[in-house]
Structure 1
């Protein structure tokens, strides 16, 4: 160690000894001597460079003297050694006293800081978002009260808009925060240095009170309450073109007022920053959700109904399958599935209108090559819609698949579905030409002139498409009753009778006619009562060839 440094350490030690002497009651003389020593030390410090040289020289001389003493005087060497040891021990004691004083001071400071933190929050303490370092519980409460004054609750609505309720609008007031004191008491104050290197974050529950009347008035003024209230829509089975799938529910904007107030009050009590009205079920709930068993069961049943398939082989296939059946199935607000029978009957009516041909107007070409039309009559397709209704309902309820001709009324069938529906075998009677043809498989098998009804309302031969309803030999044709006599207007025997209508129109021989064709039917007494008069031989030939049910087309 260099001498100036050594000197400075000795001066510091002497200063400490002076302080210790003062505390231990040394004499004034000693104190004076020590003060002089201290002054000398200060001077030595100022003259350090010069003193260093002098001290170095003195040490050299001292060493030489010591060597002399050691060589020439043994007694003198022993005394010097004892004095040096005593000085060394004294210095050690002084150092120990200083160290002990420093430790005592540090302990005092450490305990003092710990005592401070018994009533203040430690370093890096954060509570409810506030830095509470060095603050008392009361000071912390003041910060929390400021939060209450600035509190605002945001209401998030289903349509993406939002509204707010401030603490003032709810009459919000701070009451207490017991957690602040508990947090203070839970601090480990004797480990306060640790808080310098790590933070402590905590949330304490704040007790508040609000004015229920003021809050209620504010809620009643919210747009969510006063605006248009769209009711919720339950989940339901929806046909997607192939099958039924579950359409998810929709919540709408209809508010449950009591639930809304309950949820808002709860949010305010907890000082929450926002409230999602949809998530908190403040809107009216749909009766059924997409996960509801009732919706799933209804969807399954409707798909079972739609698995039915009915094929009608008309002139083109008519298929009753899922797209058609889905129009007949309904589900009510209690998820009860029902087949709409009126919808089925309406479909059958449209089906019949398209494929029923009885009485419709038909356009065709006569055997003579003339373009003609005919309407009316009793021949043609006539679907028995009542009977077919039962078949369809049974198939849909049970998911059946079948191919079938529709059921027809008695006589309500025809040779073909395509037009003309009488096919290739029929009787054609041209009222304008007073001529008839019997066509078999598209070829004329018989033709002849005829005499038809006199063209007056009570005798005219009816236009239309009919069929042979009855055949008979040697029949007596009886006219309607004459009111003046009470007897039939006529009784006429014929050899060959072929009935066309149940009202008395038919084909038969007429041996009383002098001729056939031309305009004889327009002459009173020559025109028939509505029947088709034929020559005897032609009537006989037709009778033998004609089958029951053969179509008869009567036209102009």
Structure 2
């Protein structure tokens, strides 16, 4: 059975002669004086015991039979008379009605806590007789509602405090909006000046006054900053228009955030000053008096060499500093980092620059320089190596303290004799020893328009040679060339091992293309018109120096013709080359009276194959 609080409170009402009544006035004051604090569980147990006792009493009153006749094996009444049953039902109905009335009226909550009236008399059975006994009054269990009231009060207090705090914060926020209305927010800095809480006019004055007091500050590479007051060179400072717009645009609705962090702005000032006065001021100032000294190579007692480092001193090139300062001032900068201006005078010779010289002094006796000319097309070009030994190098060198001089006249003579004269082939009057396909070994002059061969740039080679000598290392290098012939190793990503060239035989009107000594293709051709010397194809040593597809040849104004070709491979600088031309026939005697204007005419498929395979600098030997 569940008991709600109303049942609890109703159970505390005193019993009278088997009938439950509610009587607030009969409660004893003494009960209040002696009330005990019981838990809810204890109260439930007491109520259960009281109800059980009342039911027992009512049952005894309605059933005066002996105990031997009243109970069966299950300890329950065997039978009741109609009269007793009716009385019991009426008693229970009365009790239920009283409980219902008590719950409906809120009796337990509305009445003050008082000691219950004296308990009703209980019927007791003694044998077969029913006796009435007066039970002592029970104390009413205390009702605890104070904590509920305390919690409710505490909640109300918290709400009141919260409202008060919010009110204070709201008032503070509104006050902040009022304080910083039309003013800069707190912790706002412009050029290092705190303008928080200032109006625009006040902030402008503060920034300008600070800038005017600062004037111009120089930061040297060492030592304290050097300041020129603005008045010393007629300087006045103004703020550009809208210079303070950005800090003024900060959100005032969030002004409180600026209490915890600051913002800094940099504004370039507009200076009005006399540049001439500033330049004069810089020129007259004593920036330093220690001149720079150069590094040098010194000889030690044991014969070895070391470098004595340079000392840059502290003297200033005032012209550089003036130019840099004026430029910075025009940009609105009044703090000059002197090191950035490169104004400090420096030693002309540094220790780092003398490292090669020192190495040369210590290692020159072991230097050997080798020139390598072995990657040429050997069938046409002389190949080999030339070594410049250390004894020859030492003969070219003179020293003056830490200065080493190489005799370039001696070096040039050696390069001319041992490289240019022995290995250059692009020289007027040079004759190639060549084995023609049809005629065998022949001597082929380079020709008046010949462009194939090697030509050394003697002066550039000597210049690099001096650098190699001063570097003091043994190296293997190539000469510097004005013109290069065909290299065997690699051209345009294609590897060659030698004997790669194109041969055109005018007499036999035929072409052969050899790649690495193997015949790649051959074809009949038509060369220049032999009966007209101005259109004849000149014999000699040439090379493919360009590739174009397609290309228009000739002009009506100069050559009297214009022709578009698909594949153009010029071999001279005067307009002669290999190209396709649609003819009915090739080879034979066509060239004598119906030859070209000097070019080598090819069938279209042959021209395409050559164009796809050939690389720049491939030799083209035109045999008479």
- Same fold? TM cut 0.5: no
TM-score by length of 1: 0.40
